[in-house]
């Protein structure tokens, strides 16, 4: 497998979870109407339940990936992903849909953990951050096009067929992994499967000061994005009076900035270093969030202010997510699976819970969301300062980047 094919495959695997979330956004109103959900904010649970369960599920597959390898864990997760989405398409009450979404998130969490472990198997330092940015640039196109795909399905069929389509994409990904992806776990890095070993590895990955601030910081800034996804359909169609047909285009347009930013990050991170780029990014994120608060109070309901600022916020994540994740995972080459599991848990579960809270505070305006962005980004900076012992913009990795060719 060449490097380009590896990037596209890992991007597809990591994007399946985003596809399961974002493709449903245009269908939330139809789903809620058919299943008898009257509370507007309650429909958000279709998204939040999946996100929270995925975060919890991330605790399990990494340790098994450290023992049995990355490839079997991904195939197992893909099988659950396909089966659960087909099940959801057959259900007829809201509570059952929520339970099935929880199962899908729990059992499919390996799709988030194993690809990150593969990247750590093959790369380190700023080279790892660069590859993660390239992968992110590919899989972030999913939030851009997923609402439009969901809307396209709704034009010819009901919301249930969105889940059938998700199962089809998962089956295609499983075939690709089976046919092409080699095992990247080195034999000498295989870990034993027992509670003390797993607990020790996860503890080591969690208590490391150099790492934990970036893990929590990612959860906080991503929590703002999860909140945005939760309220997007209500915010645009109700508060900003965007038509149902135009909503996917507006939503996708803001998300497209993440892809542009990740491509840019992949080109500059080797020159300036992941720390310098991400530290600059979080400071600018705070400034843009201040702009969101200002616009929400002085120009409420004016989409001309909200959309450009939201696009900037999402674009800045392209300079944070991949870099924060790479810095956090750098010290754990020997336990990359366990470290990826516990880090993914804190990132995804934390972000999903923060996003759920933001969504439930939606009051028909953009003000609660704007304050959430400001508070989260400021706290993220504080945790980064903790990991860096109060000093920003250092570049610690000055050695030539190392990488291992995929066998």
pLDDT of residue 72: 92
Cα dihedral 347, 272, 406, 115, rounded to 10, equals 10
Q: How far apart are CA 369 and CA 355, in angstroms?
A: 10
Q: How far apart are CA 72 and CA 324, in angstroms?
A: 27
Any idea which residue has 């929270």 for tokens? 52
Q: How far apart are CA 46 and CA 99, in angstroms?
A: 10
pTM, whole model, 2 decimals? 0.71
pLDDT in tens, the chain (407 residues): 788 888 888 888 888 887 888 788 778 878 888 888 776 678 778 888 888 888 888 888 877 888 888 899 999 999 999 999 999 999 888 899 999 999 998 998 888 888 878 887 887 766 776 777 677 666 666 656 777 777 788 888 888 999 999 999 999 999 999 999 888 888 877 877 777 777 787 788 878 888 899 999 999 998 888 888 888 888 998 889 888 778 888 887 887 787 788 778 878 887 888 899 999 999 999 999 999 999 999 998 899 999 999 999 988 988 887 788 888 877 776 676 677 778 888 887 888 889 888 988 888 899 999 999 999 999 999 999 999 989 888 766 544 444 444 44
Half-sphere exposure of 260 (CA within 13 A, CB side): 13
Half-sphere exposure of 83 (CA within 13 A, CB side): 10
pLDDT of residue 78: 95
pLDDT of residue 90: 92
Assess contact for 116 and 325: CB atoms under 8 A.
yes
Structure confidence by residue, pLDDT tens digits, 240-290 = 988 877 888 888 788 778 778 877 887 888 788 889 999 999 999 999 999
pLDDT of residue 229: 81
Q: How far apart are CA 122 and CA 394, in angstroms?
A: 24
Tokens, residue 56: 């919890």
Q: How far apart are CA 215 and CA 117, in angstroms?
A: 15
Q: C-alpha distances in angstroms, 288 versus 72, 322, 370?
A: 43, 20, 10
Enumerate the H helices of 140-180 as residue ranges: 141-156, 160-180
Output the CATH code of domain 3-186+201-387: 1.20.1250.20
Q: What are 123's strand-pairing partners?
A: 403
DSSP 230: H
**Residues of 310-319 as b/e, b for ≥16 C-beta within 10 angstroms?**
bbbbbbbbbb
pLDDT of residue 85: 93
pLDDT of residue 303: 92
Cα–Cα nearest to 361, from 252, 234, 236, 222 = 234
What's the start-to-end Cα distance of the chain, in Å?
A: 7
């Amino acid at each position: 497998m060449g490097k380009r094919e590896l990037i596209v495959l890992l991007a597809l695997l990591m994007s399946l979870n985003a596809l399961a979330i974002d493709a449903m956004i245009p269908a939330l109103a139809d789903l809620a109407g058919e299943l008898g959900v009257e509370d507007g904010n309650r429909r958000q649970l279709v998204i939040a339940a999946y996100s929270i369960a995925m975060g919890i599920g991330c605790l399990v597959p990494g340790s098994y990936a450290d023992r049995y390898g990355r490839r079997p864990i991904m195939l197992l997760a893909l099988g659950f992903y396909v089966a659960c989405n087909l099940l959801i398409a057959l259900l007829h009450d809201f509570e059952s849909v929520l339970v099935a979404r929880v199962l899908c998130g729990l059992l499919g969490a390996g799709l988030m953990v194993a690809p990150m472990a593969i990247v750590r198997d093959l790369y380190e330092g700023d080279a790892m951050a660069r590859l993660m940015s390239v992968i992110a640039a590919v899989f972030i196109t999913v939030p851009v096009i997923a609402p439009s795909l969901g809307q396209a399905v709704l034009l010819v069929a009901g919301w249930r067929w969105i889940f059938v389509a998700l199962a089809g994409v998962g089956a295609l990904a499983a075939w690709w992994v089976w046919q092409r992806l080699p095992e990247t776990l080195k034999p000498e890095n295989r870990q034993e499967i027992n509670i003390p070993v797993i607990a020790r590895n996860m503890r080591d990955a969690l208590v490391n000061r150099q790492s934990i601030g970036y893990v929590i910081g990612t959860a906080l800034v991503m929590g703002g994005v999860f909140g945005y996804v939760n309220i997007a359909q209500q915010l645009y169609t109700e508060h900003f009076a965007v038509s149902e047909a135009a909503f996917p285009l507006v939503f996708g347009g803001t998300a497209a900035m993440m892809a542009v930013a990740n491509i840019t990050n992949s080109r500059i991170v080797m020159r300036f270093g992941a720390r310098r780029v991400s530290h600059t990014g979080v400071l600018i994120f705070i400034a843009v969030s201040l702009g969101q608060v200002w616009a929400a109070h002085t120009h409420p309901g004016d989409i001309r202010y909200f959309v450009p600022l939201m696009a900037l916020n999402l674009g800045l994540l392209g300079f944070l997510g991949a870099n924060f994740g790479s810095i956090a995972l750098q010290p754990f080459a020997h336990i990359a699976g366990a470290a990826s599991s516990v880090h993914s848990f804190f990132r995804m579960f934390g972000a999903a819970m923060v996003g759920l809270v933001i969504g439930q505070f939606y009051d028909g305006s953009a003000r609660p969301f704007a304050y959430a962005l400001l508070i989260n980004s400021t706290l993220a900076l504080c945790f980064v300062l903790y990991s860096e012992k109060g000093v920003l913009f250092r570049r610690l990795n000055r050695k030539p980047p190392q990488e291992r060719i995929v066998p």
